Amino acid sequence: MDPFQSTNEVPTTVSPELTADVPTTPAVPVEEKTNWKQLLFDLVETLALAVLLYFGINAVSARVRVDGYSMVPTLQDGEYVLVSKLSYTIGEPQHGDIIVFKYPGEPPQDLIKRIVGLPGDSVQVRNMTVFVNGQVLSEPYIAASPAYQGEWQVPEGFLFVLGDNRNDSSDSHSWGLLPMENVIGKAVLIYWPPPDWKAISHYEIVVAEPQ
């Protein structure tokens, strides 16, 4: 054979008749199975996180509803207030602070008032004016001047508190001094109803040093 002679190769083909009877395997869709164990784990994890957040938030704050008119005009009946429990863990009560506390008498209830006297202070109410350590208080936040009178010495471990609505408030002038251990925290924010949303103003009451 001539080595330079070209060879016409016929490409190999497969007859359709030979493949017609070849069985084919239909595609089987992959069935997605719900992983119930994973779903249950996610559910438990979510619930545990919600419980942790709930107790965590309650450990540092409280939410109270203002019932009555003893703090008018500063706080109105029906408003909801956010209370910081950490304020007096990292700091000390100050004159003018608005606080929430457990009423030391009966029945058990939470009250909200303003601090007027700190340990060591002498508080006197006369001539419709409040004096602390002999100094007249400037109180632009009250509804009216007090119509009662009296004198109190605040010992260590106690506070003297008054409502801003002086003549319509159950407070230290009527039931006595407040043990500091009864304090829940400092009121910081009105959060309901939405139109009343605002930070609570704590007037800095400047008083003379106890004598």
Which amino acid would we find at residue 62?
A: A
Beta bridge partner(s), residue 53: none
DSSP assignment letter at 167: G
Determine contact, residues 97/117, Cβ cutoff 8 Å: no
The answer to whether the Cα torsion of 127, 128, 129, 132 is positive or negative is positive
Distance, CA of 21 to CA of 13 (rounded, Å): 17
Nearest Cα neighbor of 183 from 97, 106, 120 is 97
Which residues are catalytically annotated? 70, 113
Distance, CA of 211 to CA of 202 (rounded, Å): 25
Determine contact, residues 80/54, Cβ cutoff 8 Å: no
